[in-house]
Amino acid sequence: MINWFLVPLAYLLGSVSTAVIVSRIAGLPDPREQGSKNPGATNVLRLGGKKAAVITLLGDAAKGLMPVLIAKGVGAEPIVIAATGLAAFLGHLFPVFFGFKGGKGVATALGVLLGYSSWVGLAAAVTWLGMAAAFRISSLSALVASLLAPTYSWFLVRSPELTVATATMSALLIVRHRANIQRLLRGEEGRIGR
């Protein structure tokens, strides 16, 4: 039970907004106030280019991955590992250090999934890349990968705790993309690279 302390620490790490920090260092506009107003890699790409976006993506993924790997490394129980990843993800969505105004969580969720199981994370990443290559729409790619992630988790890991945590993240990702879903239905969603 001593490993439960990892959960609030994971939330605090998840609360570090990579997009805001990278934008400030690079002299870019605050991504919470410009573009899509989402502090994530896609918006940073629009506002500052590929380099800033890649750094943001890697930072967001790392803050999901690292807490899970630490939890595994100290021999935490599956429920603690699942909760640790979920806490990091929630930190990104609702960051205590940035007024609880966070991103949509795609990269952080990917980091968490890679921590839970490299195979699950890889399957989700390949799904995203395949959809992005086919349709050039980031939000659609994220939504399809989110919908399939719990299935990947169940069949590749067979852990109820990790599958429930994955399904929870997927549900929250879909909720966070509700405006994107409306634009997709109207045929108005922006494409990658435009």
Q: What is the pLDDT of residue 194?
A: 65
The pLDDT value recorded for residue 2 is: 73
- pLDDT, residue 1, reads 61
Per-residue pLDDT of the chain (194 residues; tens, 9 = 90+): 678 999 999 999 999 999 999 999 999 999 999 988 999 998 999 899 899 999 999 999 999 999 999 999 999 999 999 999 999 999 999 999 988 989 999 999 999 999 999 999 999 999 999 999 999 999 999 999 999 999 999 999 999 999 999 999 999 999 999 999 999 999 999 887 66
The conformation of residue 28, written as its DSSP 8-state character, comes to P
What confidence score (pLDDT) does residue 192 get? 79
In b/e form, how buried is each residue of 82-94, taking b as 16+ CB within 10 angstroms? bbbbbbbbbbbbb
Cα–Cα distance for residue pair 130/135, rounded to 1 Å: 9
Q: Model pTM?
A: 0.95
| Res 188: pLDDT | 93
Which two tokens mark 39? 């502090």
For residues 186 and 180, give the distance between their C-alpha atoms in angstroms, rounded to a whole number. 10
Cα separation values, 120 from 44, 163, 170, 176, Å: 26, 10, 13, 21
